[in-house]
Amino acid sequence: MSLSSDHSVFVTGSVDRTIKVWDLRDPKTCKQTFWGHTSDVNSVYMHPTNMAIASGSEDKTARLWDMRSDQQVCEYKPPTANSGFTCCGMSKSGRYIICGSDDNTIHVWDSLKGTHAGSLQGHENRITSLAVAESGIAFATSSWDMSVRVWAL
């Protein structure tokens, strides 16, 4: 789940392969639904502008969704698709999408170019969580290896 910066909506990912946008004033009514992932959506992250959503899925893809056009903007795949994505985030500018995976690796994509910008390694087990610092200069990951690591953006 991810909350918009203006606290007006929140976004959820689900095992039914959908991403849904909910209005906080009426949380029983779904405002928007996005389809496209072919497996569980494990993580969603609201773009800093509140106009797009990043997602990470068991289907070994990350995706960017435009809320204004109600469609997928881009699909991101790692160079070697070894496992699904467990968590995702975005840089403060929204330029980079970051996903942690079951194969202990963090993948980074340039959201504008649609290209894989690199991989980060250091965890010895599945990455379970990712949080981007409010300042936007770093992010932290946690893992089943019982460690938390901080990475510069």
SS3 state of residue 71: strand
Per-residue confidence band for 81, with pLDDT thresholds at 50, 70 and 90: confident
Domain at 2-152: CATH architecture: 7 Propeller (2.130)
Containing 118, the helix (H) or strand (E) segment is strand 115-121
Which residue has tokens 């290209």?
A: 115
DSSP 123-134: -SS-EEEEEE-T
Write the pLDDT tens digit of every residue in 30-67: 999 999 999 999 999 999 999 999 999 999 999 999 99
Q: What are the sequence ranges of the domains in the chain?
A: 2-152
**Whole-prediction pTM value?**
0.92
For 33, residues 6+ apart whose C-beta sits below 8 A from its C-beta are: 18, 19, 20, 21
- What is the rounded average pLDDT of the residues 113-135? 94
Per-residue confidence band for 13, with pLDDT thresholds at 50, 70 and 90: very high
